[in-house]
């Protein structure tokens, strides 16, 4: 489905072929596994939202692409790439070498019938140098993450770990913890139990459901874009990490450990072995996602680099919409605590 724009020779279409979409993603700068069709399928299915896979093209090919969900919430028409609560760290428009004016490319796609100036729009930008303020969007924050360069030698990566991290890895090995790559969905219930245990300490529910984890497993595993690793002790699964990935970067989606086994130090060993697993695959970057709070302190012990990964932009058509958005987000947080 195509739509002509105000500029001759340009068109915006919704790409329906998953294979064609992935090729477009491969040709764009700053792409992530979250932009690829497998993740978008899992997200669309479980969030029950239409996700357009938009391509802005001229006679030479694609200038920009933008996966974006568009839906209604009461009287509001919302565009999200992604929406908070979608458990999607990165998304937003991407640009190819054919794109000269990136801000204008975003404007044209926003004016297409697929998006068409919604009441509220939220998106991330992987190209952190772009300024969308002239389009009426407001920059909300910069998003930093911790990354490890897997192209370095194993010895150099090991030496970059802090002493207490190396000690914890050795402790896990001495405790006979075995690290195994999961090749089916048997881990999901244990993982959800771990997540429930972790979030209960903050009086919260896990932000993802078992249905979402199952959809991610189904659609990403068939594309070879998912690695799930678990730590076992005496035949029991005691910790699990989930990593969507493309050929360049492995991205930490979620992890959990049963609290009664934390004294065995499975988490450091689990991440270290997962890191080396990806290194052997030829993946270049191990992305911990975020660097804040107590999880950030744990990640910091691996000696990562702090990297500005994306920027978060929002657009609202009126102060009333802004107030409604803030009210909805506050209500959702209260409901999460009430349900625990």
Q: 195 and 286 in one domain?
A: yes
Q: 237 and 126 in one domain?
A: no
Placement of tokens 């090749």 in the chain: 183
Evaluate whether residue 197 is within a structural domain: yes
Evaluate whether residue 227 is within a structural domain: yes
Q: 280 and 297 in one domain?
A: yes
| CATH number assigned to the domain comprising residue 28 | 3.40.630.30
Q: 189 and 251 in one domain?
A: yes
Give the SS3 label for residue 224.
coil
Q: 93 and 66 in one domain?
A: yes
How much is the pLDDT for 202?
84
Task: Tell me the C-alpha to C-alpha distance, in Å, between residue 333 and each of 25, 300, 330.
Answer: 34, 28, 5
Element (H, E) at 230: strand 226-233
Evaluate whether residue 287 is within a structural domain: yes
The tally of domains found in the chain comes to 2
Residue 270 in tokens: 């689990």
Is residue 165 packed enough to be buried (19+ CB in 10 Å), middle (13-18) or exposed (0-12)? Answer: buried
Q: 177 and 42 in one domain?
A: no
Evaluate whether residue 176 is within a structural domain: yes
Evaluate whether residue 218 is within a structural domain: yes
Task: Tell me the C-alpha to C-alpha distance, in Å, between residue 287 and each of 16, 146, 150, 168, 304.
Answer: 29, 6, 10, 20, 9
Evaluate whether residue 165 is within a structural domain: yes
Q: 170 and 69 in one domain?
A: no
Q: What is the pTM of this model?
A: 0.91
Nearest-10 Cα torsion for 42, 45, 50, 54: 20
Structural domain boundaries, residue 32: 2-136+310-339
Evaluate whether residue 82 is within a structural domain: yes
Taking only the tens of pLDDT, the chain with its 340 residues reads 444 455 668 999 999 999 999 999 999 999 999 999 999 999 999 999 999 999 999 999 999 999 999 998 888 899 999 998 899 999 999 999 999 999 999 999 999 999 997 999 999 999 999 999 999 999 999 999 999 999 999 999 999 999 999 999 999 999 999 999 999 999 999 999 999 988 888 888 999 999 999 999 999 999 999 999 999 999 999 999 999 999 999 999 999 999 999 999 999 999 999 999 999 999 999 999 977 777 889 999 999 999 999 999 999 986 656 665 666 556 555 544 444 3
Evaluate whether residue 141 is within a structural domain: no
Q: 294 and 334 in one domain?
A: no
Taking residue 210's Cβ as centre, other Cβ atoms within 10 Å add up to 15
Task: Tell me the C-alpha to C-alpha distance, in Å, between residue 224 and each of 163, 182, 243.
Answer: 34, 13, 11
């Amino acid at each position: 489905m195509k739509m002509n724009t105000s500029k001759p020779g340009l068109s915006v279409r919704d790409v329906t072929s998953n294979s064609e979409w992935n090729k477009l993603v491969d040709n764009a700068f700053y792409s992530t596994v979250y932009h690829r069709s497998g993740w978008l399928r899992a997200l669309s299915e479980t969030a029950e939202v239409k996700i357009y896979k938009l391509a802005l093209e001229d006679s030479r090919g694609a200038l920009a692409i933008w996966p974006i969900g568009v839906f209604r919430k009461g009287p509001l028409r919302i565009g999200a790439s992604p929406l908070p609560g979608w458990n999607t760290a990165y998304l937003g428009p991407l640009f190819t070498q054919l794109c000269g004016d990136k801000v204008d490319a975003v404007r044209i796609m926003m004016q297409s019938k697929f998006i068409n100036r919604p009441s509220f729009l939220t998106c991330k930008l992987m190209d952190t140098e772009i300024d969308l303020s002239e389009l009426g969007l407001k920059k909300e924050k910069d998003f930093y993450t911790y990354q490890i360069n897997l192209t370095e030698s194993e010895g150099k990566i090991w030496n970059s770990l802090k002493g207490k991290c190396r000690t914890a890895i050795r402790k896990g090995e001495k405790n006979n913890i075995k690290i195994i790559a999961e090749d089916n969905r048997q881990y999901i219930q244990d993982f959800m139990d771990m997540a429930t245990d972790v979030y209960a300490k903050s009086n919260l529910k896990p932000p993802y459901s078992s249905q979402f984890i199952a959809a991610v497993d189904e659609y990403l595993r068939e594309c070879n874009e998912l690695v799930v690793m678990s730590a076992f002790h005496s035949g029991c699964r005691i910790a699990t990490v989930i990593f969507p990935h493309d050929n360049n970067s492995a991205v930490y989606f979620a992890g959990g450990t049963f609290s009664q086994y934390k004294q065995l130090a499975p988490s450091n060993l689990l991440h270290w072995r997962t890191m080396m697993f990806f290194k052997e695959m030829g993946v270049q970057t191990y992305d911990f996602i975020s660097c804040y709070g107590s999880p950030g302190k744990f990640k910091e012990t691996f000696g990562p680099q702090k990297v500005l990964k994306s920027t978060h932009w929002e657009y609202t058509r009126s102060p009333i919409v802004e107030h409604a958005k803030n009210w909805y987000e506050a209500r959702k947080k209260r409901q999460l605590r009430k349900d625990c």
